[in-house]
Structure 1
Amino acid sequence: MSLHRRGFSSRRVLVAIAFSFALCILYYTHLRNTQSDPLPELIPEEDVVFWPTEPPEIWAERAVQVKNAFLHAYHGYERYAFPHDELTPLSNASTNSFNKWGVTAVDSLDTMLLMGLKDEYERALPMIMNTNFSLPANTAVPFFETVIRYLGGLLSAYALSNDTRLLTKADELGAKLLPAFNTESGFPVYAVNTYEGVESGPPVGMLAEIASWQLEYSYLGKITGKEEYAERATLITDLFYNANLTFSGGMYPTKWDLTSGEPYDLHLSVGAAADSAHEYTLKQYLLTAQTDKENLEMYIRMTTHVINNLMFISPQRHLVYVTDMSTYKLEDTRVTHHFEHLSCFFPGLLALGVKMLPLDDLESVGINVEELTRDLLPRDRGGYEALSEFNLTDLHLWAAEAIAQTCYITYADQPTGLGPETVSMRAGGKFGITRWMSAVRAWDRQGRRGPPPGVGDKLPWSEPPGLVSTKERDRATVTRDYGVRNIAYYLRPETVESFYMLWRVTGDVRWRYRGWHVFQAIEREAKTSSGYACVDRVHMKVPVLLDSMPSYFLAETLKYLYLLFLDEDIVPLDRWVFNTEAHPLPVFAWTPEESVAYGITEEHLPSAVS
């Protein structure tokens, strides 16, 4: 049959071809003009995932299952390891990695109280009350770990139970650790000899270790009325606030000189050695009834720099991740594209800020953006202007949801269903390395079709069948957009912590289901006869168990899962603040008298008090 008989003429065909050619020229001209920023080719529609609606009884039963998991782990600890620090769940023995003071028992106290486990709580108290915090001579305890696990555990249990015996022990421990601050700058040193009352450690401190104790010492100062505790927290805030952060975009670098009190390097990260320090900027502001303006400013600086410079999107699956970078010279900045499990706390922190802060009206809480950026380089000041194009509340929530989804995908992609400690994200593709904000701006220019980049649901990756050669496996890794760098899951809480925060902030059931998937994987892969073990080779169908059950598994991972599955909000985020070990502390406000006694300046107080 000829074209003419079907209603076409050669003239019409030529016109159609010419018209199509013109459309192609217009399209590619437009595409080129709208891609001044690098962008993955075209962000496709996301996978459609239908999340069922289940009755409250189902989630209540799942919370009970988490409670039973806690009981299994803690009873194994009681049987084989108590009163030592941690259970070794394969050999059914114990280890003393944290001071020999029974860290698992202390770390678990508030979880017991929240779960209503009175018998376990009462059995732990005598050992805790009889603990001698003065170790033999020449034995030092790590300041940071002791504060977040022991001091935080005691303070939270006191706040939940009102048992003054716990307050007495917290006061005793807080005083024993004070020699850590005997440095020239006032930053705490790595370790304290609680027997001789002297500090020890290198002259350079890691950010997380020198800046993750303000919550605990502020609250201890409030409930004891002791000046020496509260003024330490005030001093450390002032040290950070007045430090020279010009070349780090207003964000804290990872290493600090304990003598001068100034940054030692220009390595920026929200992962290992840095994470909880950034966390405590927002949380110190919230704990003190939203009165600590200096810490709020530092939180806004940090999140702005991270969103602009440390968040990237992978080229094929469009997985959004946060990574680290180092600046060796002003024009020599190197990005690793490593994505750590430890960084998966960050989406939860962003979500908490979305709930608690007027991000689109920061002037109402005394934040002036011009003052924030006055001491920054022009390139970093421009970052604030770039974010001002968007509703900041929306932007922070998109960032939170996108990173949290990538955290989940790194779990769901593995045969075990457990997330590896570190992955190396694929950077590049047709348009080179792409920062997330570049993709967001391009999405905005193109009419906001579909969800923001990386935010829509994604399905887990599955290995194509029949792969044999290394080359084929490498190709499969590329389609996954990352390679597994550290293949172990250490029973860490950060991912489910963010799921919990996002669930409470958004009410979106997908975060509960993702948490449920993680819990099922833990039950299936990590459970032993006496507890739960860290899991190695999570990327293989037959993993290997490690003989370790960290105390934070009971203090954090199981606590956040339990709270995620409860319908009742028993720890409201506007009344309680979780420390970095998931120990909730109650919000409080300094009185005018306390502000004078503790040297708290107007920057730390609301206008009504100052």
Structure 2
Amino acid sequence: MLQDNYRLTGSRSASQDPEFIAKAIEDDNYFWRKVPTHYPVQDMRQLPTGNPRALPKIQKSFGKEPRKEANIRRERREAVKKAFARCWRSYRSKAFKSDELGPISGKSKELFGGWGATLVDSLDTLWIMSMRSEFEEAVNAAVSIDFTTCVIETVNAFETAIRYLGGFLAAYDLSGDLRLLRKAREVGDMLYKAFDTPNRMPISRWDFENAKKGGKQVAPEMEWLAEVGSFSMEFTRLSVLTGDPKWYDAAERVRVALEEQQSSTQLPGMWPFALNPRDMNFNSDTTFGLGALADSTYEYLPKMFAMMGGLMPSYQSMYENSMETAIKHLLFRPMVPDSADILISGTMHIGSKEGKKALNLEHQGQHLVCFAGGMLAIGGKLFDKPEHLEAATKLVDGCIWTYNALPLGIMPENFVMEPCPSDKECGWDELIWKRAVLREAGEDDLDNMEKADEIIAQSRLPKGFTKIPEPGYLLRPEAIESVFILYRITGRPDLLESAWVMFESIQMNTKTALANAALGDVTVHGDPPKEDSMESFWMGETLK
């Protein structure tokens, strides 16, 4: 078969030859290429050409590693690999080719199309961890996935792009195995049909069967920012590797629409959570933030600039404009017992007061928004923005502080903190904290300290937290990933220790007889309640 004939594990020179690649991955008979196109592109945008710019070096130049530190690093690396290998063996034996393994029940779960989300998402981790025999077995399984059938009615196109398309592309870039690029193209051809709408805007919650039957489609009137603006990296990389500009064109149309409306939103510089792709209206909603519903649209901006070798300056201006607004309006210093100089990113609600626009910052932090520290660190180095690196440092330190403040050493999914009166005036005040606890609980009498103590005890609130609406932990990667990025940029040795403490806390509290499980509540002391869930990003991102 063609896939067997063009198996090229490690053969980089051949796998980079455009003619060879085209022959290896071309399949005009593939189902998704034959589905009728109702709204063909009339003016295909082409990938930028020219010599890439010389970009600033992001990573710190590390000197020779002392033997003692090298030994510690290797021991810790092996511990992480051991944790991954244990999860992989359980997945391999009990849920292979399924989307997820239930880490408590041992049952398989199909939440992302039934195409093996964990299998594909883990491919590059297997390669990076030098588990080559397992990688080869996984690739053999992954290349047989049938993307013409689906076990769920509505496909999340964004999740499919990051877990499947991103998984295949990353594994191909590492291994050079053209079977993986061929598979990436299959996923790309499928996802491209979600853009077959009158204005070429994507359908994020995609009716798979309707598209499969060749039905006409139209973009919805409401989609989340992250699910519209986060195709750029995977789609552009696929176009670069295949030489077919159609995916780049699809992502570029979204980028242009975002750029055109960036300065006309209710919080100029940023885009709101909710967009209207059907009417191309990206500036009407009144809620803004860097966390869930928005995150990766912002994260991809500096990464796209770097990936395109600086040939698309719009990504720089879009990043700088959005982060100028975010740093000014979203970041706040919380009041904490040790007066640590940290930052948390909140959620902005635009309202009105006495006929004028009013900005109301909700001082709610999220585990997911911890990605912002890594993003700002990269952007700060890439675009020579020291203030971004400073904000990144305080955001990462804030995530570390939050991990350490909880009894299990793990940050909750969602929490609320009381802001300091100002950056300079930030001493701990027990009375202000307790009044804030009462206010968050909806109490009228803000001087009822007995009631405040009762709420604090019942809700198990560590000092500094005024409410923890979502006390779970989903095995998320964002915090430890940003610690990793900031360490590679600054070389701060304390970040290594913080990351290790985070890993040990997570491993100790989430470990099951089979693998690792999401936690229902990290505010408890002792054994936390576990949930029968292990999303693919645990092995595809967190442990990697």
Matched, 1:106 2:120: yes
Cα 1:172–1:400, aligned 2, differ >3 Å: closer, same or farther?
A: same
State the Cα distance separating 1:201 from its structure 2 match.
6.9
Residue of 550, 555, 571 corresponding to 2:540? 555
Counterpart for residue 343 of structure 2: 320
User: What does the per-residue CA deviation read over 1:517-538, in whole Å, with 9 as the maximum and x for residues that have no partner?
Assistant: 1110122111111100001221
State the Cα distance separating 1:491 from its structure 2 match.
0.4
Matched, 1:147 2:161: yes
Residue of 258, 261, 270 corresponding to 1:251? 270
Q: How far, CA to CA, are the matches of 2:334 and 2:97 in structure 1? A: 47
Counterpart for residue 293 of structure 2: 273
Greater relative CO, 1 or 2 (CA 8 Å, sep 6+): 1
Counterpart for residue 63 of structure 2: none
SS in 1 for 2:350: strand
Q: How far, CA to CA, are the matches of 1:76 and 1:470 in structure 2? A: 47
Matched, 1:331 2:312: no
User: What does the per-residue CA deviation read over 1:526-573, in whole Å, with 9 as the maximum and x for residues that have no partner?
Assistant: 1111100001221111310111111000011001xxxxxxxxxxxxxx
Matched, 1:340 2:366: yes
Cα 1:202–1:233, aligned 2, differ >3 Å: closer, same or farther?
A: closer
Structure 1: tracts of 5 or more residues without a match: 1-51, 360-392, 444-452, 455-467, 560-610
Matched, 1:413 2:405: yes
Residue type of the alignment partner of 2:316: L
Aligned length: 442
SS in 2 for 1:113: helix
Counterpart for residue 146 of structure 2: 132
Aligned residues of 1:426 and 1:478 also touching (Cα < 8 A): no
Counterpart for residue 453 of structure 2: 472
Counterpart for residue 299 of structure 1: 319
User: What does the per-residue CA deviation read over 1:59-98, in whole Å, with 9 as the maximum and x for residues that have no partner?
Assistant: 1110110001100111111111112110001111111001
Residue type of the alignment partner of 2:280: G
Structure 2: tracts of 5 or more residues without a match: 1-65, 428-448
Cα 1:258–1:184, aligned 2, differ >3 Å: closer, same or farther?
A: farther
Q: How far, CA to CA, are the matches of 2:400 and 2:67 in structure 1? A: 20
Counterpart for residue 520 of structure 1: 504
User: What does the per-residue CA deviation read over 1:83-137, in whole Å, with 9 as the maximum and x for residues that have no partner?
Assistant: 2110001111111001101110100000111111111111112221111101269
Counterpart for residue 287 of structure 1: 307
Q: How far, CA to CA, are the matches of 2:224 and 2:330 in structure 1? A: 19
User: What does the per-residue CA deviation read over 1:234-277, in whole Å, with 9 as the maximum and x for residues that have no partner?
Assistant: 22221111125323222111111112212240211000100000
Matched, 1:80 2:100: no
SS in 2 for 1:131: coil
Q: How far, CA to CA, are the matches of 1:68 and 1:315 in structure 2? A: 39
Q: How far, CA to CA, are the matches of 2:262 and 2:505 in structure 1? A: 45
Counterpart for residue 483 of structure 2: 499
Q: How far, CA to CA, are the matches of 1:244 and 1:299 in structure 2? A: 11
State the Cα distance separating 1:301 from its structure 2 match.
0.7
Q: How far, CA to CA, are the matches of 2:492 and 2:482 in structure 1? A: 13
Residue type of the alignment partner of 1:139: E
Aligned residues of 1:268 and 1:326 also touching (Cα < 8 A): yes
State the Cα distance separating 1:475 from its structure 2 match.
6.6
Residue type of the alignment partner of 1:552: F
User: What does the per-residue CA deviation read over 1:10-36, in whole Å, with 9 as the maximum and x for residues that have no partner?
Assistant: xxxxxxxxxxxxxxxxxxxxxxxxxxx
Aligned residues of 1:184 and 1:260 also touching (Cα < 8 A): no
TM-score by length of 2: 0.77
Higher Cα Rg: structure 1 or 2? 1
User: What does the per-residue CA deviation read over 1:558-594, in whole Å, with 9 as the maximum and x for residues that have no partner?
Assistant: 01xxxxxxxxxxxxxxxxxxxxxxxxxxxxxxxxxxx
Matched, 1:426 2:423: no
State the Cα distance separating 1:485 from its structure 2 match.
2.1
Percent identity reads 32
Counterpart for residue 5 of structure 1: none
State the Cα distance separating 1:173 from its structure 2 match.
1.1
Counterpart for residue 214 of structure 1: 232
Cα 1:74–1:233, aligned 2, differ >3 Å: closer, same or farther?
A: same
Matched, 1:261 2:280: yes
Q: How far, CA to CA, are the matches of 1:267 and 1:57 in structure 2? A: 48
Aligned residues of 1:137 and 1:195 also touching (Cα < 8 A): no
What CA RMSD, in Å, does the superposition of the two structures yield over aligned residues? Answer: 2.3
State the Cα distance separating 1:481 from its structure 2 match.
4.3
Matched, 1:397 2:389: yes
Counterpart for residue 44 of structure 2: none
